[in-house]
């Protein structure tokens, strides 16, 4: 409320400045120019926005930031409305009798300062300690922003409006970065731009868009930048002194500046030449230390998958064949595998895979200093085919990358930072579990109780070979929790599919119940779990663990029903990533360990593979096998005796030397973890074998995804080409 009062007072003063300017103009027998009104109104609108936003409780109550912002906005608005007086005083400072020898010199100085304040407007909302940035990276970002703004300034003949718009856009990006970091503990990456529709679909669910004090400081910086650009525009030559030569020179220099920036960001390798790297395991630190623009540009340059050294199609095929042969001659020729193969061929069990939204066991963080023991039923399942830690390539968000790794066997570790294959690459010929089961005569169904367009799933699932995709339209009357379809509702839909179709099925269920944010206050009282973390209550943690408790109950009920079912069923259950907040506990409570182990704790969930019948060749005693998501599909096929592709056999063999790999790191056969980007030179036999396996995997994956690398990007986005089949249930999407 305090911010609202201060801002309203600021608005009154802004209005008075407009009245003052009107009187001054009338005294001189003139009118306020339209461009002066436009400049003043822009700052008044920013002030009005803060007044409204704070009035509904969405601005942090901070006296100093509110005062600073309103003093700046009122001052900037005054300068806009009183453009004539500002012009008179500014022009008095230049020329023979002024302090500066030429208006152009003053304009250049103003552009340099405006560029710096524009950088602050971008960085300050999320990067609260600008002194933490590397000085050279700060200078680079300043140079990029200033060059673009100066280019626009000159192209439009030394008018500041467009350049001021650039400063405002940068600030808006800074605000967006603040909220993305707040909700996901991850920065904005180039890949996020290809998933804007997904972000928009979930943006209004469970999130509170409260502007912090630093957001207000950032807005003040952006306003200062815009006003400096206005003054720079005032200093352009009078109409009578403008020449055609001056127009051409301005245009040429402006275009040269823009072209120079374009050439710089496309021709200079930020990663290798400038050593600006976004570390996958700690991207936020990369953005904070290197700046938003340098980090974003580096990520954009590496979004195209790196072609392995000395890669050839023939060599990749030979590598896959060698690893597959090793499997056939080893584990693939065992009696247990033969028994499982024979049983699978006769029985063809239905395979249900459940990727549970944000399902993880946070008891790994010293029981949250609250005696929290995690999901009780899930952890107590003792009759599984296999279970263990699951090392994923997503943290706080990025669900689609986990399902991509599971379905394809490919790892995000080989694709770089900030990449979302579902929205970027051409996946039409990518080997995957759905197509594999379809070739075995299975009916294939994908389900996700949200929009089919999220993460471009409607097109990807079509390319992968799913017969049907059940999306939010199929869950119109389903039970919800916090406004999201419950896990139990998706399990009921699966049971319905089993009841109405006796054919063997491959069902892929991507749940939605536990999606962030976790400060909605919408958990029913009887479902709430309240923890006291070091004697304090954390509403986000409590809402999250309450959701996990509900997921655990739903899983217990579902497994119980499947146990009584008169048909053979396999269940694969795993979490896609952790929520966004455990990094705080990780850094606070785990201080004496190596960096790789420290970071990998954030990038793990859990999995189980369970069957409601005795699988031949397996004791079904919940053998623990920690692995990464990209190996989980091959593990499933091996355990249940399903036919395995050469690639899956190769991945299984590969695990002898490298049991797990994700975008954060990789481990050797002795369980030692190494961060992505690090390299083991020499080392013992286990380390050398791991390095060889890692290189071979990169070659095999590139072959699986891109073959010869000519056609890597997706040909279709978010199309409306899917048709509705009248023979299907209402709202069901038919995958052609």
Phi, psi angles (nearest 5°) of residue 169: -60, -40
Q: Do 363 and 261 share a structural domain? A: no
Query: Taken in order 449, 454, 455, 458, is the CA torsion positive or negative?
Result: positive
pLDDT value for 337: 96
CA 465 to CA 445: how far, in whole Å? Answer: 9
pLDDT value for 92: 67
CA 391 to CA 388: how far, in whole Å? Answer: 10
Q: Do 140 and 10 share a structural domain? A: yes
- 32: its two tokens: 């306020």
Query: Taken in order 714, 715, 719, 721, is the CA torsion positive or negative?
Result: negative
Examine residue 672 and state whether it is found in any structural domain, yes or no.
no
Q: Do 242 and 139 share a structural domain? A: yes
Q: Residue 177 sits in which domain range?
A: 2-301
Examine residue 355 and state whether it is found in any structural domain, yes or no.
yes
Which conformational region is residue 3 in: left (phi greater than 0), alpha (psi within -120 to 50 degrees), or beta?
Answer: alpha
Q: Do 116 and 49 share a structural domain? A: yes
In this structure, are residues 324 and 646 in contact, taking their beta carbons and an 8 Å threshold?
A: yes
Q: Do 409 and 284 share a structural domain? A: no
Q: By C-alpha distance, which of 268, 272, 271, 269 is closest to 260?
A: 268
pLDDT value for 302: 78
Q: Do 380 and 282 share a structural domain? A: no
Tell me how many domains the chain contains. 2
pLDDT value for 235: 81
Q: Strand pairing partners for 425?
A: 713
The count of C-alpha atoms lying within 13 angstroms of the C-alpha of 531, restricted to the half-sphere facing its C-beta, is: 22
pLDDT value for 26: 78
pLDDT in tens, 177-226: 999 888 877 888 887 776 666 666 666 666 789 999 999 999 999 999 99
pLDDT in tens, 14-71: 999 888 888 877 777 777 888 888 999 999 999 999 999 999 999 999 999 999 999 9
Domain final position from 617, 645, 673: 645
CA 418 to CA 78: how far, in whole Å? Answer: 43
Domain final position from 301, 318, 338: 301
Q: Do 396 and 283 share a structural domain? A: no
- 419: its two tokens: 């990449």
Examine residue 322 and state whether it is found in any structural domain, yes or no.
no
- DSSP E strands in 280-428: the ranges are 350-356, 386-391
How far is residue 145 CA from its own chain's centroid? 24
Q: Do 377 and 260 share a structural domain? A: no
pLDDT value for 101: 60
Q: Do 262 and 390 share a structural domain? A: no
CA 595 to CA 383: how far, in whole Å? Answer: 35
Q: Do 283 and 360 share a structural domain? A: no
The parts of the chain modelled with pLDDT lower than 70 are 90-102, 194-206, 237-242, 281, 711-736
Domain final position from 266, 301, 336: 301
Q: Do 518 and 430 share a structural domain? A: yes
Sole residue written with tokens 């793990």 = 604
Q: By C-alpha distance, which of 420, 493, 453 is closest to 722?
A: 453
pLDDT value for 189: 82
Query: Exposed, middle or buried by CB within 10 Å (0-12, 13-18, 19+), for 560?
Result: exposed
Examine residue 48 and state whether it is found in any structural domain, yes or no.
yes
- 481: its two tokens: 């929790």
Q: Do 478 and 401 share a structural domain? A: yes
pLDDT in tens, 212-256: 999 999 999 999 999 999 988 888 766 656 678 888 999 999 999
pLDDT value for 33: 82
CATH number at residue 360: 3.40.720.10
Examine residue 731 and state whether it is found in any structural domain, yes or no.
no
In this structure, are residues 149 and 118 in contact, taking their beta carbons and an 8 Å threshold?
A: yes
pLDDT value for 729: 42
pLDDT value for 719: 36
Question: Rounded to whole angstroms, what are the CA distances from 128 to 199, 293, 570, 662?
Answer: 25, 16, 49, 30
The count of C-alpha atoms lying within 13 angstroms of the C-alpha of 297, restricted to the half-sphere facing its C-beta, is: 25
With 0.85 as the threshold, say if the pTM is over it. Answer: no
Examine residue 158 and state whether it is found in any structural domain, yes or no.
yes
Sole residue written with tokens 């396999």 = 570
Percentage helix, strand, coil for the chain under 3-state DSSP, each rounded to 5: 55, 10, 35
Long-range contact set of residues 116-119: C-beta below 8 Å, sequence gap at least 24 = 116/142, 116/146, 116/225, 117/167, 117/221, 117/222, 117/224, 117/225, 117/228, 118/145, 118/146, 118/149, 118/166, 118/167, 118/170, 118/171, 118/221, 118/222, 118/225, 119/145, 119/170, 119/291
Is residue 497 classed as helix, strand or coil in its secondary structure?
A: helix
Pairing of strands 468-470, 443-447: parallel
Q: What percent of the chain has pLDDT over 90?
A: 73
Label residues 323-358 b or e (16+ Cβ within 10 Å = b).
bbebbeeeebeeebbeebbebbeebbbbbbbbbbbb
Q: Whats the size of the chain, residue-wise?
A: 736
Examine residue 32 and state whether it is found in any structural domain, yes or no.
yes
Alpha helices (H) in 564-643, listed in sequence order: 582-589, 595-600, 629-640
Examine residue 469 and state whether it is found in any structural domain, yes or no.
yes
pLDDT value for 107: 87
């Amino acid at each position: 409320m305090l911010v609202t009062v201060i801002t309203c007072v600021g608005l009154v003063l802004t209005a008075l400045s407009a009245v003052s300017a009107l009187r001054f103009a009338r005294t001189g027998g003139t009118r306020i120019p339209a461009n002066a009104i436009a400049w003043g109104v822009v700052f008044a609108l920013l002030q009005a926005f803060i007044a409204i936003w704070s009035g509904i409780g969405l601005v942090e109550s901070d006296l100093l930031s509110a005062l600073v912002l309103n003093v700046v906005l009122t001052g900037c608005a005054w300068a806009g409305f009183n453009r004539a007086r500002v012009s008179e005083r500014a022009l008095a400072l230049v020329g023979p009798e002024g302090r500066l020898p030429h208006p152009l010199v003053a304009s250049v100085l103003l552009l340099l300062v405006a560029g710096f304040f524009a950088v602050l407007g971008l960085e300050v909302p999320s990067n609260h300690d600008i002194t933490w940035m590397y000085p050279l990276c700060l200078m680079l970002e300043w140079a990029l922003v200033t060059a673009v703004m100066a280019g626009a300034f000159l192209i439009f003949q030394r008018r500041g409006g467009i350049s001021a718009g650039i400063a405002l856009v940068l600030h808006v990006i800074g605000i967006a970065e603040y909220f993305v970091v707040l909700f996901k503990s991850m920065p904005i990456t180039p890949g996020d731009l290809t998933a804007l529709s997904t972000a928009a679909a979930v943006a209004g669910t469970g999130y509170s868009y409260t502007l912090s004090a630093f957001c207000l400081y950032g807005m003040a910086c952006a306003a200062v930048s815009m006003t400096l650009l206005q003054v720079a525009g005032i200093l352009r030559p009078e109409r009578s002194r403008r020449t055609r030569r001056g127009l051409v020179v301005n245009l040429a220099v402006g275009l040269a500046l823009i072209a120079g920036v374009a050439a710089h960001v496309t021709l200079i390798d930020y990663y290798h030449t400038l050593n600006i790297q976004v570390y996958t395991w700690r991207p936020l630190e990369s953005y904070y230390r290197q700046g938003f623009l340098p980090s974003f540009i580096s990520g954009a340059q590496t979004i195209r998958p790196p072609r392995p050294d000395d890669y050839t199609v023939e060599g990749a095929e030979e590598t896959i064949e060698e690893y597959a042969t090793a499997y056939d001659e080893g584990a693939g020729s065992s009696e247990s595998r033969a028994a499982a193969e024979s049983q699978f061929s006769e029985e063809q069990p239905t395979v249900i895979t459940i990727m549970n939204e944000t399902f993880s066991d946070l008891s790994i963080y010293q029981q949250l200093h609250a005696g929290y023991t995690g999901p009780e039923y899930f952890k107590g399942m003792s009759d599984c085919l296999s279970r263990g830690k699951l090392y994923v390539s997503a943290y706080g968000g990025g669900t689609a990358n986990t399902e991509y790794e599971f379905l394809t066997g490919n790892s995000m570790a080989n694709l770089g930072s900030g990449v979302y294959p579902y929205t970027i690459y051409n996946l039409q010929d990518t080997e995957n579990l759905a197509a594999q089961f379809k070739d075995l005569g299975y009916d294939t169904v994908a389900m996700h109780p949200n929009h089919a367009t999220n993460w471009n799933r409607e097109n990807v699932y079509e390319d992968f070979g799913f017969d049907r995709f059940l999306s939010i339209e199929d869950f119109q009357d389903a039970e919800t929790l916090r406004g999201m379809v419950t896990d139990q509702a998706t399990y009921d839909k699966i049971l319905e599919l089993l009841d109405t179709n006796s054919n063997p099925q491959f069902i892929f269920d991507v749940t939605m119940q536990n999606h962030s944010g976790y400060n909605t206050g919408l958990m029913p009282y009887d479902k709430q779990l309240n923890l006291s973390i070091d004697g304090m209550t954390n509403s986000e943690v409590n809402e999250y663990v309450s959701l996990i408790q509900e997921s655990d109950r739903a899983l217990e009920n579902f497994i119980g029903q499947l146990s009584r079912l008169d048909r053979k069923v396999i269940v694969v259950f795993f979490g896609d990533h952790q929520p966004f907040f455990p990094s705080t506990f990780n850094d606070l409570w785990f201080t004496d360990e190596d960096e790789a182990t420290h970071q990998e704790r954030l990038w793990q969930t859990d999995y189980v593979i369970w069957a409601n019948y005795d699988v031949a060749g397996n004791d079904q005693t919940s053998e623990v096998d920690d692995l990464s998501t990209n190996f989980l599909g091959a593990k499933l096929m091996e355990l249940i005796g399903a036919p395995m592709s050469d690639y899956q056999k190769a991945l299984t063999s590969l695990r002898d030397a490298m049991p797990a790999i994700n975008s954060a790191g990789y481990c050797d056969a002795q369980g030692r973890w190494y961060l992505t980007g690090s390299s083991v030179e020499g080392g013992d036999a286990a380390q050398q074998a791991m390095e060889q396996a890692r290189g071979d995997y990169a070659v095999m994956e590139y072959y699986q995804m891109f073959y010869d690398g000519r056609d890597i990007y997706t040909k279709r986005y978010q199309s409306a080409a899917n048709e509705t089949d009248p023979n299907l249930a209402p709202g069901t999407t038919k995958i052609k």
